[in-house]
Amino acid sequence: MTSTSTTEPSPPQTCDVFVIGGGPAGATIAALLARQGRQVVLAEKAHHPRFHIGESLLPANVALFDKLGVREEVEKIGMAKWGVEFVSPDHEHRVQLEFAEGWDKSLTHAWQVRRSDLDEILFRRAAADGAQAIEGCRVRDVAFDTDGATVRATLDDGAERSWRARFVVDCSGRDTFLANKFKAKQKNPRHNSSALFGHFRNAERGEGKLEGNITIFWFQHGWFWYIPLADGTTSIGAVCWPYYLKSRTKPVKDFFAETIALCPALVERLKDAELVDDAVYATGNYSYTSTHCSGERYLMLGDAFTFIDPVFSSGVYLAMHSAFEGVAVVTATLDQPAKAPAARRAFEKYMRFGPREFSWFIFRVTNPTMREFFMYPQNPLRVKEALMGLLAGDIHGKTPLWISLRALKGFYFVACALHPRRSWNAWRRRRRNVRDLGALVGENVVDAK
């Protein structure tokens, strides 16, 4: 005699807000909504601490950490970052710029952090503030209806769980869960790059106050980041144009070593260094955006909505700030539905503002004219102060830097007009560089030893 038993899925649990993804955006909005007394579920597919790239923070992050009550914890794990260094293969000198040179003199510094540590701090903060924070919980489907959504997920042990949520916030990062569901994700046709990166021991550092500064090295196929971390390691990554990565015919580790060799100034910094765990990582298809970031019962925050080149280290700041702004949309939807459409329209406008302002400079950072501006910084009409304010993340405050930034853009176009041959060659080279050559590596970070 044979008996068959079946396990019925458990009935859906209920919550006010379901947050997909336990990174900076997800943990931040979960904490803020839980503080309002709402039932919040925060689902993270991995377990903290988990690896993530993007270790450099902006001074504008500091106020957000203060509001969350985690500044001291972040400071303990961080390496103080007071500015940025630019190194160009076309110039004999190097340039050190400090955030304190910006318009707002109070934005003096930030930190370099291991994202595994930072993200865990934020995730635990959300749990301490009352969110139900679940690790090892991968969302499989979200089905919306007029009253909210049914969220289905799978736990590490294979158990299936479901929730009825009045609102869903997608903070799934580059997984872009809802953008993929709605077919809203679009590659950025103006910027197409990928990255190789690893961590090194015994890399050369600056002295004193300069020790924690990020360095940007330009080279013929893109640029390198150089980020000193508090544990003595240094994060180094090459952001390259597609045609260059497409030329790879050997293992990623060897290709990364050959890429570093193309930048003598970086080679000098690494003369006594060794690769940690013999591991190099790769990530591809960097820049994208989505057609929209909100709906009647959902938001897409941070990288779940858009991602731009990381040269100005804006990712964590934009993600966390979008979470602070997103609270108003959730609150209006749940408490004052008549005000929700206006709140969503304002949020859509807001979400495009930051990436747009950063992108104008990011898209031109490898242009020789813009490189000259960084290598010979001048301050007519306070343009240098405005640029440093931008690099500090000072774009959502009351600092009146926008007239000066527009003036800087004007100076850029005048300089391009005065050097037509150089400008034409740079434009043609960029057109070749950003052409889509197909998938180079996966969308997500992968171990490529």
Work out the pLDDT band at 397, boundaries 50, 70, 90. confident
Q: What is the reported pLDDT for 248?
A: 87
User: Which pLDDT does position 131 carry in this prediction?
Assistant: 98
Average pLDDT, the chain: 91
pTM over 0.85: yes
Q: What HEC string does 119-139 produce? A: HHHHHHHHHHCCCEEEECEEE
Tokens 């940690």 label which residue? 276
Cis peptide upstream of residue 49 (ω within 30 degrees of 0): yes
Residue with tokens 């499989």: 140
Reported as a pLDDT band with limits 50, 70 and 90, residue 9 is low
Mean pLDDT of 233-255: 90
Q: How far apart are CA 69 and CA 194, in angstroms?
A: 35
List residues bridging with 294 in a β-sheet. 299
Give the C-alpha separation, 39 to 45, whole Å: 20
Across the range 107-121, mean pLDDT stands at: 97
User: Is 436's pLDDT higher than 70?
Assistant: no
- Which pLDDT value is given to residue 156? 94
CA–CA distance, 96 with 199 (Å, rounded to integer): 23
Can you give the pLDDT at residue 363?
85
- Report the Cα 185 to chain-centroid distance in Å: 17
Q: What pLDDT does 311 receive?
A: 85
Interval 140-188: pLDDT, tens: 999 999 999 999 999 999 999 999 999 999 999 999 999 999 999 998 7
pLDDT at 190: 67
**3-state SS assignment for residue 312:** helix
- Domains of the chain plus CATH, in order, are 13-78+113-186+288-358 (3.50.50.60), 194-286+440-447 (3.30.9.100), 360-433 (no CATH)
Report pLDDT for 446. Answer: 41
The answer to which of 3-7, 93-97, 282-286, 355-359 has the lowest mean pLDDT is 3-7
pLDDT level of residue 42 (50, 70, 90 thresholds): very high
Confidence of residue 33 (pLDDT cuts 50, 70, 90): very high
Q: What is the pLDDT of residues 268-314, one digit of tens each?
A: 999 999 999 999 998 876 689 999 999 999 999 999 999 988 888 99
Number of neighbouring beta carbons within 10 Å of residue 135: 17
Spatial separation of the C-alpha atoms in residues 193 and 69, rounded to whole Å: 36
Percent of the chain at pLDDT exceeding 70: 92
| pLDDT in the model for residue 8 | 54
Res 1 pLDDT > 50:
no
pLDDT (average), residues 361-369: 88
Residue 195 near residue 282 (C-beta atoms within 8 A): yes
